[in-house]
Structure 1
Amino acid sequence: MLNRRHLMAGAGTLAALLVATGLTSPALAQTTDIRFTLDWRFEGPAAGFLLAEDNGYFAEEGLNVTIDTGNGSVEAIPRVATGAYNMGFGDINSLIKFLDEDPTQNVKAVMMVYERPTFAVVGRKSLGVTEDPASLEGKTLGAPPPDGAFAQWPAFVEAAGIDTSEITIESIGFPVREPMLAQGDVDAVFGFAFSVILNLKANGVPDEDIATILMAENGLNLYGNAILVNTDFAAENPEAVQGVLRALAKGFADAVADPAAGAAAVLARNETLNLEIETERLEMANAMNIKTPYVVENGFGGIDPDRLAASIETLGISMGLQGNVTAEDVFDDSFLPPAEERMLP
C-alpha cells in the first residue's frame, strides 16, 4: 500500500515529466495576477469580459484577473500606461492622440472589440434634433469630458460639415447626462449609443422622441474601443497577455451566442440593473459594434492596418496630431490567437 510520501513523490515525478514533455496546462503553472480596468461600469456590453471570468476561461489560462469598473473610455488609457493596471479597455482613437503627444508612453492596443465605434450624439426630436448632423447647429450639447464620443467631436465636425459657430458645449458629468437631456436642460448629449438610448428610455423618454446620430454613419470611419496593455507588462509576460486574449475571444463569443446569460453575468455584479434592459443593451452592442460584417468574415479582435492608418490621417487633420505615430505604433496583433479561434457564432 502506498503511503502519503509515495503519493507526493509520484505526483512530483508526474509534474516534472509533464514539464519536460511540454504537456503542462496553464492551470498547473504559477498563476499570474492581472489588474484589468474597464472603460465604464458593469453594463450589458461588459458581458464578454465577465463571462471569460465566470466560465473559467481566465482560470484555464492560469490567470487571476481582477476586473474593475472605469470612468470613461479615455481615462482607461493613462491607467494602463502608468502601470496602475496591466491591461484595460479604452478608445483607440484617444490612444492615438495620447501616443502622438508622447510616443514614449507604455501602452498599446492588442485586440479590437468595437470594430465600428459606438460614438454618437443623441438628442430629442421634440427639442429639434434629428438624425441629420446639421440639426445640431444652434443647439446646446452636453459633454462629459472623459467621454470617448466627445473626444471625436473635432473629427466629426469636419467629417460631417457641421457649423459650430452657434453650438454651445456644456460640460456635464456622466451621472446627470441622460437626466439632463430627459429634462430638456440640453438638446443632445455625447456618448455610446447603446448606453445613452437605453438610459434615456429608463428616464422616461419614449423611443419615438430619441434621435441618434451615429458618427460612423456620417463620415467618421474610425475604430472604437480596444483591449489595451501596458507594454512593459507585455514584454515581461507575453504568455499571460496571449492567455487574456484567448479567454476574451471565448467570452465575447459566449456573449454573442447568449446575450441573456451575458446580461445575467452583469447583474451578478450590479443588482440595481434590469435584466431585460441590459440584454437589449448587449444585443445593440453586438449588432452595431462587435459582430460586424468585417468581424464575421475575418474574426473578432483584428484590424485592417490600412484602415487604421487612414483613421490616423483623419485624426491628424481634425485633431492636430503631430504625426508621431503609425498604425504599428498603436496596434500590436502579435498576441492574438489564430483567426479561426476568434470567429463569433
Structure 2
Amino acid sequence: MTDKGMDKAKESIIEELDATLPGEIDRRKFLHGSAGMLGVMMFAGCTGDGNGGGGGGGGDGAETTSGGSDGAETTAGGGDGAETTAGGGGSSSGFMDEEEVVFTASWKKEPTHGTPHIAELEGYWADEGVPNVDAQLGNGSDTESLNIGTGTTEMGYASFATAISVWDGGEEAEALDMSLVGNYLARPLLSLIYRTDEVSGPADLAGKDVLLASGFASSTWPMYPELAGVDGSEIGTRAAGEEVGPPTLASNDVQAVWGSIDLLTAYEEAADVELGVVPLTQFGAIPGQSIWVNNGWYENKENSEEFMAAVLTGFHKTMKWVLLNGDEYLNLMQNEVNPNLQTWTEEELRGQYETSVAVMINNSYQEEQIGYFTEQGVQVGRDGAANALLDDPSVVPAASEMVNRAPFEASEPVEFTDDEWAQVMETGGRFAEIFAEAESGN
C-alpha cells in the first residue's frame, strides 16, 4: 500500500471519527494512538478504498500527469510547472514543522473553495514542510471570520468585506484578534444578479425585491445601496440559502439576487430571461477573500513567520495548479474531495470553476506574484467596506494594524509565464470580461 493510499484511508477514518467522537477529542491523536485503528486504516487502504481516479493524482498512489500550459509534463504536485510528485514526504527548503493546525475555507467544498482541500490532499503543504495543516470547509465568511478572530481556528480565508463587517463593536468584536497575511480570491464574489425584464440597471431597485442568498450576502448587503447611490429603505429584501436563489429569481418572486457570482450559471439555467450582473468591483477596489491568522496563535508560536510562509507557499502553488489544470482539478473535486459534486451538471461545475478563475486573479498576480497584496490596497478596501457597512467605521483597525505582511514576504514567489497567464485569461472567458467591463471605469 502506498503512502498516499495510507493517508487517504486515514483521512476517511478521521471523517468518520468526526461523526462519532465528542468534540473535545483530537481525532488525529486518537487515531495515531490506537493500534487497532491503525490496523483498520491499513485494511481500508489495501482493499483499494482510496482508488479514486482523480486526474491530478491517482488514488492508488501511481503518478498521474497533467499537461502544463506550455506543453511540459507536470504532475498534480508540481505547482511551479516542474515535474514533481505530490506528497513527496519532505520539504524542498528543509523546513519541517508537524504542528497540527486548521486552515478553514469560507464555504463548502465547491470548485471556488477547493484549493485548500487540494493543498492537503495532493501534498502541497507537506512538500513545504507543514504536513499537518488540516483543510476544513466553512460555514460562511461571517462565521469563519469570528472563528479565526477569536482563536477557535488558527487560520483560513474569508471575505474581506464580511470580515470587516464583524468588527461591529459588539462583545464578539471586542474579542477579535486577527491579522491579514495573504490573499486568496483577488476579487470579491459579491455581485447583484438581476432580471433585465424587471430591472433596467444597477440603480433601478426602488420597489423591487432582492434575495440575500447567504449569511455572507446578508452581512454585506448594506454596501450595495451605499455604493450604488440607492435608498436602501425603498428596496425589499429577504434572506435565504443560496440554493433558493435560482428558482426564486426564475419565478420572479424576487427581481434580483445579492450573492456570489460563481452561481451565475445556475441562475441562467433556471431563468427564462436575460440576466444582468453588477460585480461589487464596479464601485472600487475591494479585496476578495483574504487569508487571516489568529494573532494569539501566531504570537505564541516560536517559528510562526516561517510556518505561515510555508503555508502560503504551498497554498500559492496549489492555486497555480488549480488555475492551469481545470479538468484534472474538477475530477479531483468530484471523486476525491466532494462526491456530491457528481450531482451537478457539467454546465454548473464548469461555470463555477471558470468564474472562480476570474475572481481568483487580478493584474497584480501576473505582474508581481500569486497572492500579491499591499497595505495601501487593504486600507482602500478597509475604508470602502467599513464606511458602507458600519455605523462607526472607527471600530475597524487601520491597515497598518491589521496587516502582517512578513509571512508573505518570506514565502517563495509563485509566478506565471506569459503563456500560462494567457491560458488563465482564456479559461476565465466571459467572466473575466464581465469583471473587465465592470472595472473599466474605476
- Paired residue type of 2:285: N
Q: Please tell me whether residue 296 in structure 1 is matched to residue 361 in structure 2.
A: no
Given that 1:47 and 1:263 are in contact with CA atoms closer than 8 Å, whether structure 2 keeps it comes out as: no
Change (3 A) 1:328 1:142: same
Where 1:252 maps in the other structure, the secondary structure is helix
> Would you say the 8 A contact 2:212–2:221 is kept in 1?
no
Deviation, structure 1 residue 175: 3.2
Shift of 1:278: 2.4
The reply on whether 1:185 has 2:253 as its aligned counterpart is: yes
Residue 229 of structure 1 corresponds to 293
1:124 to 183, 195, 204: 195
How many angstroms does 1:310 deviate by?
2.3
Normalization by structure 1: what TM-score? 0.82
The sequence identity of aligned pairs, in percent, is: 22
Q: Which runs of 5+ in 2 are unaligned?
A: 1-91, 421-442
Q: Following TM superposition, by how much is the alpha carbon of 1:306 offset from its aligned partner in structure 2, in angstroms?
A: 2.1
- What is the DSSP-based 3-state SS (H/G/I as helix, E as strand, rest coil) of the residue aligned with 1:317? helix
Match of 1:82 in 2: 150
CA distance in 2, matches of 1:180, 1:336: 42
Structure 2 SS opposite 1:88: strand
Select the structure with the greater relative contact order (CA < 8 A; seq sep ≥ 6). Answer: 1
Distance 1:301 1:311 in 2: 16
**Which of 97, 108, 130 is 1:41 aligned to?**
108
Q: How much does 1:100 deviate?
A: 6.2
Q: Alignment partner of 1:53: what SS? A: helix
Deviations 1:154-188 (A, max 9, x none): 23322221133421011223332333223322211
CA distance in 2, matches of 1:135, 1:302: 36
1:170 to 222, 238, 263: 238
- CA offset at residue 210 of structure 1? 2.1
SS across alignment from 2:222: helix
* Alpha-carbon displacement from aligned partner over 1:99-131 (angstroms, at most 9, x marks no partner): 4634652222211112221210112224x134x
Residue 405 of structure 2 corresponds to residue 333 of structure 1:
yes
1:31-79, CA deviations, whole angstroms, 9 ceiling, x for partnerless residues?
2212122111111112322332233111122321222222222221011
Moved over 4 A (4+): 337-340
Q: CA RMSD in A?
A: 2.5
**Matched position secondary structure for 1:134:** coil
Letter in 1 for 2:176: Q
2:271 aligned partner: 205
Any stretches of 5+ residues in structure 1 without a counterpart? Answer: 1-22
Contact 1:256 1:286 in 2 (8 A): yes
Paired residue secondary structure (1:74): helix
Q: Deviation digits for residues 208-263 of structure 1, max 9, x if unmatched?
A: 6222111211x243111111211122223413322211110100010111122222
- Aligned residues of 1:142 and 1:169 also touching (Cα < 8 A): yes
CA distance in 1, matches of 2:387, 2:118: 39
Superposition pairs of residues 1-345 of structure 1, within 5 angstroms: 25-26=94-95, 29-60=96-127, 61-99=129-167, 101=169, 102=173, 105-126=176-197, 128-130=198-200, 132-144=201-213, 146-147=215-216, 149-195=217-263, 197-201=264-268, 204-205=270-271, 209-217=274-282, 219-237=283-301, 238=304, 239-267=306-334, 268-273=336-341, 274=344, 276=346, 277-287=348-358, 289-319=359-389, 320-324=391-395, 325-337=397-409, 341-344=413-416, 345=420
The farther-off stretch of 300-309 and 149-158 is 149-158
Distance 1:122 1:199 in 2: 11
Letter in 2 for 1:137: A
Instruction: Name the aligned partner's letter for residue 247 of structure 2.
Output: P
SS at match of 1:211: strand
Q: For this pair of structures, how many residues does the alignment match?
A: 314
Question: TM (normalized to structure 2)?
Answer: 0.65
2-structure distance, mates of 1:340, 1:64? 19
- The residue matched to 1:123 in structure 2 has which SS? strand
- AA paired with 1:133? P
